[in-house]
Amino acid sequence: DSTSTETPVSWVSQYGSITFNQISCDIPHGGMNENGLVVEHMFLASANYPPADGRPATISHQWVQFILDNYGSVAEAVSADTLVRISDTEYKFPIHFHLMDSTGDRAIIEFLADTFTVYRGSSYTACAIANNSYAYSCNVLSNYTGWGG
């Protein structure tokens, strides 16, 4: 959005990474950095990014690259929300994120109702995401034998 008054995020990479890009080299769909942090995403129609505030912003796919370039672990990456925001401009792609690292730590990050939501530790019971919210998917999963059904 060329009329946006948001401050774009800028950074100097702390980690090298390899990414999977379908659209352009600046818009990764996922990847892994040299420290073993992996970020992937899936479509989530209900994703709703927070409105502009004082934090610099980026689009959802570039957030993937920002995380890979600046953080070495899931624990560090989940703190990024205090520094950088995903833009809620005209160009927004509704997605949620699956993060894993070399220690086995993992998290799902979703933006629902303008809120940054992290599923990690005891709130992270199924090691996958789908094109529905994590909470909805876990609820459906409980209908099946072996998963609470």
pLDDT at 4: 61
- Whole-angstrom distance, CA of residue 100 vs CA of residue 75: 10
Pick the CATH number of 17-141 from 2.60.40.420, 3.60.60.10, 1.20.1260.10, 1.10.1060.10: 3.60.60.10
* Dihedral over Cα of 68, 49, 78, 30: its sign: negative
Q: Taking the model in full, what pTM does it have?
A: 0.90
Is-contact 95 47, C-beta < 8 A? yes
pLDDT digits (tens, 9 = 90+) for 13-31: 999 999 999 888 888 999 9
Distance CA 95, CA 131 (A): 8
Sites in the chain below the pLDDT cut of 70: 1-4, 90-91, 147-149
Q: Indicate the domain borders of the chain.
A: 17-141
Q: What is the pLDDT of residues 83-93, one digit of tens each?
A: 999 998 766 78
* Distance separating alpha carbons of residues 28 and 40, to the nearest angstrom: 9
* 3-state SS assignment for residue 96: strand
Instruction: Give the amino acid at 129.
Output: I
